[in-house]
Amino acid sequence: MSPGSGRFGGPMKDIQSSFDDRGIGIDKVGIKNIRYPIVVLDKANTVQHTIASINMYVDLPKQFKGTHMSRFVEILNEHRGNINIRDYPDILKKMQKRFNAGSAHLEIEFPYFIEKKSPVTHARSLMEYNCTFIGTGNGTGTDFVLIVRVPVLTLCPCSREISSHGAHNQRSFVTVHLRFRGLVWIEEIVDVVEASASSQLYSLLKRPDEKYVTESAYDNPMFVEDVVREVARKLKKNEKIINFSVEAENLESIHNHNVYAYVESE
């Protein structure tokens, strides 16, 4: 059988483009969880190379049976080395054009690393933050959302108040969703969140650093409600941010449940 021929030697039939008579359009169809190298803007080092998990979808008109899934990967390959926030609109437009779609969606989740110094000994280490770009393109323009998930330390104000010594503390995760104009650095959002908790976290701590972190957290107790309010208060001061939401979840150390708080901008 020669390349490009079907089972019986004739031209290959395009099954995906054949007519579907059920009359039901599909809102999103595409590929999920493809691992791919990307380039992210880095405030300290200009760019950072990382590995992302990518989802790509388009809408499918009701008259078509299926979507040509290989085209998604072709588009990724065409933008190899340039899959970043600045290229989002171009990639979404290419998806719409290549699939003749009314809308296109691109979700890129990736680990982002920031070098930090421990508070006392200044030991250097890389701290990981989970980030996501979500973009949607249609005939009216492009919608883009940045998501940053930041681990922090919180210490319970109630526990400190009622205990003769000590207080329970826990690792917490604060997730910020935001739309913005211009450029907002991932580092800016990380700084806001870490400044709104009992203490920030580090990958590497020596004994003097550990003493400093635990004592600092004790001096700065924060409920989960305090954390989301403080992050929201600080984000409201940033004129580049259009709207946002903040959620915080404490991985409780003395309860068999987590605690949670959520706030969004008006």
What is the structure's pLDDT at 1? 42
**Which of the residues in the chain have pLDDT under 50?**
1-2
CATH number of the domain enclosing 48: 3.10.270.10
Q: How many domains does the chain have?
A: 1
Residue 124 belongs to some domain of the structure: yes
Residue 164 belongs to some domain of the structure: yes
Range of the domain at 123: 26-264
Task: Give the span between the Cα atoms of 139 and 30, in whole angstroms.
Answer: 19
Q: Which conformational region is residue 33 in: left (phi greater than 0), alpha (psi within -120 to 50 degrees), or beta?
A: left
Q: Which conformational region is residue 182 in: left (phi greater than 0), alpha (psi within -120 to 50 degrees), or beta?
A: left
Predicted model pTM: 0.90
Residue 19 belongs to some domain of the structure: no
Residue 100 belongs to some domain of the structure: yes
Residue 162 belongs to some domain of the structure: yes
Residue 148 belongs to some domain of the structure: yes
What is the structure's pLDDT at 65? 74
Residue 9 belongs to some domain of the structure: no
Residue 13 belongs to some domain of the structure: no
Residue 224's H or E segment, with its range, is helix 224-235
What is the structure's pLDDT at 221? 96
- E-assigned strands of 43-140? 46-60, 104-117, 124-138
What is the structure's pLDDT at 18? 57
DSSP symbol at 87: G
The 10s digit of each residue's pLDDT in 146-173 is 999 999 999 999 999 999 988 999 999 9
What is the structure's pLDDT at 4? 54
What is the structure's pLDDT at 232? 98
Closest CA to 218 of 177, 168, 184, 260: 168
DSSP, residue by residue, 140-160: TEEEEEEEEEEEEEEE-HHHH
What is the structure's pLDDT at 86? 81
